[in-house]
Structure formats: structure tokens, C-alpha cells
Amino acid sequence: MVIHYKCPNCGDDMAFDTESGMLSCASCGRTDNIEDFSDEFITTTFSDEEAKEYNCNNCGAAVITDADTSATSCSFCGAAVVLADRVSGSLAPDKVIPFQISKEQAMDAFKKWCKNGRLTPKGFMTADRIKNITGIYVPFWLYDLHSEADVKAKATKVRTYSRGDYIYTETSYYDVERKIDLTFQKVPVDASEKMNDEMMDKLEPYDYGSLKDFKTPYLAGYLAEKYNYTNKDLFPRVKSKVNQYVDQYIRSTINGYTSYHYENKHVNTEERKAYYCLLPVWMVYYDFDKQEHTFAMNGVNGKVVGKPPLSMQKVMAWFSGIAATTFVVLKAITILVGGDLW
């Protein structure tokens, strides 16, 4: 089943526009609110062998995708198509954050980011070899979690004072118990096999204020993936993610002691709800020095992550600059307090 958006005015293909947040027609300029876009103009066709091949409603050509793609554009006529069976049923997303940065803005933001790289090679900074920039809706699970932590610790307070000819060290021992209750809301974990976990974690945070109920037209004009892992599969990952937060909260409640160590620590985290959500990411593919570098940009706030190449020359320049300055400053201090140059 393929979904295709036809302009009610002129019949041309429509796609999602980041600026207005609406479905818009490039030919006549018509814009339609996605919440009340009439189903009448969404043509859906079912084909018998859905899972294998999709045909474009516009031109009839075969839409070639890989198995995880849920939205793409027809490689023949360019019309935005959404593969409906990959966004329905158990694969139906609950929420979506639409792109708020257009392709041009993404390009500019990325170029600007390249210029700021203090250790990147000069040739890289000009950002003139961007091979491809693609807007992808990446599948995420957003977890609402409830954690309970129970800790028992031994703590000490140490006080020293002197009386007469002696220095006294007084160590007081305490039993410390804490039980805390925490809820976390919409902790994101990416559910796509293709995406690098570390990179996706660094893209956070997403502005949940622009979270919308899922409607297929948001995907028009972009690529979208379906999840490879269910919320059950990824629960251990979200758990380890929030465990470090829980630890920080526990530590924040134990204060006033010189030292403490846990004798017993029990953290129980359970899932209250998991939302299947598509989050906007611009993927930038950049050829530099015969290597392809991949960067990801948060499609809401423009934050860029990904390892840029390092220029050994620049690394050395910074290193020697800082080392020389430090050395001179230390020498200057030495001379100021009366020392000799050598």
C-alpha cells in the first residue's frame, strides 16, 4: 500500500514544508493543515504483493526501497510516497516531531559548524564536498519510567582538633538509608539498527513541545525508517541510561559526610508507557580525503554530532601554542618570585 498526496488545486505532488508545518504544493503554493487534510486527496492503492514491491501512484514506476524504509520518494518521478503498511498496525507511530529545519537551513548550519572546527583540516572547513544531505525520520522509543531506589550505606564524619600536645581525630560512624521514588518522562532510545547509538544519544534533547500525533503527511518528502527493535528489546538500554541519573539523585540526598560506601543498593525501574515516535534527523554524508564521514543533525534545533577528521597540523599547532604559553607563564611566575631563568 502506497500513500501519495495530490494537490486538490492543481493535482501536482505535495510535500511537508518545515517553515509552515503544513503540507504544501510546490506548483501552485497551496498549503493544507495536516490535522484536517481530507482523506479524499490521499490516494492509497493496495497491491497484492505489498511487502515486496510498491508502485508509485503518480507514474506507475516501481518504488525501490530497502526493507526498513517507510517513507521515500519515487526515484522516477520524485513524488513523495509513504509506504502505508510500514506505518500502520503494530508499526504505526504514536507521535512525530516534524522537521523544523529545512534542507537549506540544515546545509547552512552544517557549513557553519564545519567552520567552527578548531582541529579540522582547512579543506574540510569549507564544507564544499557535501555528498548528500538527507532528512530522515528516525524511529525512537520514548519511555515513561518509574524508578525506585533503595540504598543502605555506611557513612563517616571525621573531625580533627588539637588539645594540649595531641591532635585528635574523631571518626563518627552512621547508618544511612534512603528510599527514593522517581519518574522519568519520554526518555528517548533510537530503535533503528542503522543508526549509531552513541551519535543518536548525543543529538538529544528534542523539544517535546512540538510533539504531534502521528499523521502520514508529515513524512511526505522525507525518508523514514521503521523500528527494528521493539520497546521490550530496548528496555535494558533505557534502563542503563536512567540508572546513572538515579545514581546522581541518590548521591544528592546523601550529604554532610566525609565518606560513605553502599552496603546495599537496589534500583528497580519499570516501564509505565512506551511511545513509538519518529524524530527528525538530517544525515550529512561528506567525502573528504577519500573517506566518507557521516554527521547527524537534530532536525529541531540544529545540533550537529559526528566525528570530523582531525588535522595533525592543527593539533600540533594548538598543542605547541598552549604548551609554549604555559611554559612562558610558569617561567614568568618563577622569575617574579625571584627565581632564575634556568
Partner 1 sequence: MRTKLRGITIAILTTIIMFSFQPTVLANDGKQRIFDEAELLTDNEVQQLEQLTYEHSKKHEIDFIIVTTPKAGKDIKKFVQDYYDDNAPGYDKPHGNAVIFAIDMDDAVREFYLAGFYKGKKYIDDTRINHIISKITPYLKDGNYYTAFATLIETGSEYAEYVPGIDPEGFYMQTWFHLLAAIVIAGGIVFFMAYNSGGKVTVNERTYTGDFRVIHRKDRFITKSVTRRRKPKNNSSGGGGGITGGGHSHSGGRGSF
Q: Which is nearer to partner 1, 79 or 238 (CB)?
A: 238
**Phi and psi angles of residue 287, each rounded to the nearest 5 degrees, phi first:** -90, 125
**Of positions 177, 197, 213, 263, contacts partner 1 by CB under 8 A:** 177
User: What DSSP line would sit under 97-134, residue for residue?
Assistant: ----S-HHHHHHHHHHHHHH-SSS-HHHHT---EEEEE
Read off the amino acid at residue 177: E
Q: Which is nearer to partner 1, 77 or 119 (CB)?
A: 119
Q: Which of 279, 251, 340 is nearest to 138 (CA)?
A: 279
Stretch that binds partner 1, among 89-97, 112-120, 220-228, 274-282 (CB under 8 A): 112-120
**Of positions 184, 229, 285, 288, contacts partner 1 by CB under 8 A:** 184
Residue 328, C-beta contacts closer than 8 angstroms, at least 6 positions apart: none
By the rule CB under 8 A, 171 interacts with partner 1: yes
Q: Which is nearer to partner 1, 172 or 210 (CB)?
A: 172
Q: Which of 18, 47, 46 is nearest to 34 (CA)?
A: 18
Q: Which is nearer to partner 1, 66 or 170 (CB)?
A: 170
**Of positions 118, 122, 131, 273, contacts partner 1 by CB under 8 A:** 118
Residue 128, C-beta contacts closer than 8 angstroms, at least 6 positions apart: none
**Of positions 169, 261, 264, 290, contacts partner 1 by CB under 8 A:** 169
Residues in region 210-269 near partner 1 by CB under 8 A: 242, 244-245, 248-249, 253
Q: How far is the CB of 121 from partner 1 (least distance, A)?
A: 12
By the rule CB under 8 A, 209 interacts with partner 1: no
- The three-state secondary structure class of 310 is coil
By the rule CB under 8 A, 291 interacts with partner 1: no
By the rule CB under 8 A, 36 interacts with partner 1: no
The torsion defined by the Cα of 44, 47, 48 and 51, in degrees rounded to 10, comes to -90
Tell me how many residues contact partner 1 (CB under 8 A): 67
State the cell numbers at 283.
544525515
Q: Which of 265, 268, 305 is nearest to 284 (CA)?
A: 305
Q: Which residues bind partner 1 (CB under 8 A)?
A: 117-120, 144, 155, 162, 165-187, 199, 201-205, 242, 244-245, 248-249, 253, 303-308, 310, 315, 318-324, 326-327, 330-331, 334, 336-339, 342
